[in-house]
Chains A and B, each alone.
Chain A
Amino acid sequence: MNDQPFFSALQKIYPKDRLLTQGVQLLAYESDALTSFQAKPTAVVIPETQEEAIETVRLCHQFGVPFVARGSGTSLSGGSLPIKDGIVIALNRLNHIKKLDPDQRIAVVEPGVVNLHISQAADRYNLYYAPDPSSQPVCTIGGNVAFNSGGAHCLKYGMTSNHILGLKVVLADGEVVEFGSESLEGVGVGPDLIGLFVGSEGLFGIALEITVRLLPKPELYRTVLAAYNDLETAGNAVAMVVASGLLPGAMEIMDRLAIKAAESGVDAGYPENAAALLIVELEGEAEQVETEFEEIMEVIKESGAYEVRVAKDAEQRLKIWKGRKGAFSSVGRLSPDYIVQDGVVPRSHLGKALAEIDRLSQEYGLDVANVFHAGDGNLHPLILFNGREPGALEHAEELAGKILKMCVDLGGSITGEHGVGMEKRRYMPAMFSEVDLETMKAIRRQIDPKEISNRGKMFPGGEAPALKMTGMHPLEAQGIISRE
């Protein structure tokens, strides 16, 4: 390809400091939080206005140059991995909160706005933005939209898609389309285009303006930590809570290895010698929560926990969550490398799934730590290995693949919230038929006829860069981001 006319056109849009082409400048963009994949883009552009981003996409379409939109690069599935011979459109400077309207409980933001910054801006009105991926202090809302990000508190109010009311997007061929509204009803008339766009992993284009709904901050939290002598009993406790008809805001489980990691990492002060910990959190209007709390304590007492703690104040609550949210980066202290998967199983099969993971762990001779969103059956097995040993990564990948196939066999999904990205492309046929996948591709081609927008992601096949494992993401090693 003769890139010269394309680059000349880019130079007309961007000054030198926002059009990066030198090797050392590009280094930071070579991979995202899935560090085992790396690819060098030919250039990185940093638009400061929506018009610049639109113009860039139009040029890419005109010249057939693939692009990847990128926020903070925290994707766990390689979703923001660059494309060789393509460009990266870094959206971090499109980071304005354009509107925050407490009377209607909405905010209109640009894609480079950091997730947590929305809640911080809304705090003075007693509102917050609900989806809370563990990387929320750094991940951007544009990436959340592309991958329909989840978090620990999705049980009651859903994932990112359930909180997006309106979008302005530039499609891969340069058309700018707006849909949805400031209404809680979102699109409301005609097919739900927001539903289609959110979670499309960047394959349709780039979200430039995002209207999100805000929620009133819960008046009261009641956070319970229960310790169990084995993982299965903890899993059964989840089933008992679900069966009780109460609707907690979050239900999380950590196993022995994950607890050990959390203790060494953040000194969470969890009960000693627990084989499994269950965190249940109720949230909402005070009087309702207090009444629910009495009921849930009865359930937990019956569930076989050998120790039950209740957070007495906000500080104790945060400490419980700190251990949970930091568990992944803490695992890095136990092992030089690890892979995290996020398959989903029906909740009633949690016990069976955990037993099978344990069996596979022994068969492969690899430790697996489990930290997961038990309330919605979203597993997060962390497969520990040493990337310096030849073949170790491939061995661990094989185990990860077996776990994903088990999730599908049990009636679940290969991903609950991290997305397919680069990492799980080859497992899509386990979940979808050829017709299903062809249909998705047909939709994609209608919107992106040259397949330039995040080319190579989600669908099986295509070129993949060689796997390489070099330890944790630098931000992760510092505990700034974490894999949930």
Chain B
Amino acid sequence: MSLQPTTLEELQEMITANRSLLPVGGGTKPALSAAANGATRLDMSHLSGLIEYEPGEYTFTAYAGTPVRDIVAALAEHGQYLPFDPPLVERGATLGGVVAANTAGSGRYRYGGVRDFIIGVRFVDGRSQLVRGGGKVVKNAAGFDLPKFMVGSAGRFGAFVDLSFKVFPEPRAYVTLKAVFPGLGPALGAISSLFTAPNEMDVLDLEPLADGRFSLIARLGGLSSALPGRIERLQSFLYAKTEAVSHEVIQAEADAALWQQVNAFAWVEDGLSLVKVPISPKRIPLLENVVHGLAPRRRYTAGGNIAWLAVSDIDSLDAVLNTVNLPGVVLFGPPGRPFIGPRPGVSLARRVKQALDPSGKFLEI
């Protein structure tokens, strides 16, 4: 079953009249958005549109059902962007879906993820009440930070009405450098060397290659006139201080095309599930040991701080994540159980659930 509110009042009435609700945006992350076990989809796509955008303020407020594509276009007109680089933009991801799923792309390396840019939220909770948290200014310490809490909340606490964000000026130009390393150890060594180096990168991704080697992909953004010097410096650093064996520099249209593909998860073959696992670089060898058979395609973003695993068997991955004590969230794959592996802090999340949704209008956390 699917409900489709077109106004705030309708949304409140639907929450009052129904239960087992699952708010859904563009449906680009089906493991989180497809209804299972008798859940009712709350299709938020008609609560859509940019409400307020003042370029001089570097902030905007938009309805939760607004396609991110529209926001990206509006910001680009003024040289601004979403630094957390939400993925699946071209496939139709909505702003609300990005917040509920906590999806940030490779570009989140430089300035942070969804949580670091959300500044306000209005949502209807399980008591059908319209609640506001945060505000519309870039700095605000009044009240509990409910906007941040909602990042990753997967529609379990209420349905977002609108969301406010701060944004940044977009780098005027980009260049990508892809370097190949003989194995995981040398590639991780390079990441840790880069972590204390002055070189600033917008992206630092790690990609296992079919032959057992790894490539490290850095993207630099900034003023065009400074980029050639910076990329040369990074190149010299990699050969002098790390075990890089070869590299290529990717520019202009090729650079844009590469990152558009990454944004669309084009590397994930049809039929495979996609799972996000927060990790720290030092634990990557442990994960690599246990998942290489399960997940033939993998990618690490944010300097080895997020693992993206394309797997065919979620149950086996769940078991493996429990053994290595790493939580995961399923984005593509069968609906119904998005959270796999351990659930640190879930008892605290349940207490908040009790306050916002005491009668279980939305799905269990």
Contact = CB atoms under 8 A, between A and B. Distances in A.
Interface of A: 101-106, 125-127, 147-148, 150, 154, 156-159, 161-162, 171, 175, 177-196, 198-200, 216, 218-219, 239, 242-243, 245-247, 284-288, 290-292, 295, 344-348, 373, 376-378, 411-420, 424, 428, 431-433, 435-437, 439-440, 442-447, 458
Contacts of A373: 139
B130 interface: yes
A440 B115 contact: no
A185 B58 contact: no
B135 A191 contact: no
B332 to A, nearest CB: 16
A288 B352 contact: no
A288 B173 CA distance: 12
Given A189-B152, A373-B139, A288 B327 contact: no
A413 B141 contact: yes
10 contacts: A154-B139, A188-B276, A188-B278, A196-B149, A284-B200, A346-B137, A377-B137, A416-B139, A435-B131, A443-B351
A413 B144 contact: no
Contact of B192 (A103, A161, A436, A442): A103
B17 interface: no
B344 interface: yes
Contact of B354 (A102, A216, A285, A446): A446
A344 B139 contact: yes
Nearest to B136: A411
B279 A183 contact: yes
Given A154-B139, A190-B365, A447-B348, 5 more contacts: A192-B149, A192-B153, A196-B348, A219-B198, A444-B144
Contacts of A445: 355
Interface in B159-182: 168-170, 172
B141 A415 contact: yes
A344 B115 CA distance: 20
A175 B352 contact: no
Given A150-B139, A191-B153, A436-B131, A184 B223 contact: no
Contact of B54 (A101, A175, A348): A348
Contacts of A182: 280, 282
A195 B139 contact: no
Contact of B233 (A180, A191, A287): A287
A442 B133 CA distance: 14
Interface in B320-365: 327-329, 339, 341, 343-349, 351-352, 354-356, 365
B56 interface: yes
A183 B352 CA distance: 24
B48 interface: no
Chain B CB within 10 Å, residue with most, of A150, A433, A442: A442
A185 B225 CA distance: 32
B151 A191 contact: yes
Interface stretch (B247-255, B291-299, B301-309): B301-309
Contacts of B59: 346
- Highest count of chain A CB atoms <10 Å: which of B112, B137, B339: B137
B31 to A, nearest CB: 13
B25 interface: no
A416 B339 CA distance: 34
B199 interface: yes
A413 B192 contact: no
Contacts of A245: 79, 169-170, 172
B144 A287 contact: no
A50 B156 CA distance: 33
B138 interface: yes
B44 interface: no
Most buried by A among B143, B154, B355: B143
Interface string B221-247: 011011001100100000000000000
Contacts of B138: 344, 347, 376-377
A239 B56 contact: yes
B305 to A, nearest CB: 4
B148 A285 contact: no
Contacts of A346: 54, 57, 59, 136-137
A242 B58 contact: yes
A161 B151 CA distance: 13
Contact of A242 (B56, B151, B347, B351): B56
B69 interface: no
Contacts of A177: 345, 347-348
B23 interface: no
B278 A185 contact: yes
A295 to B, nearest CB: 8
B267 interface: no
A242 B79 CA distance: 12
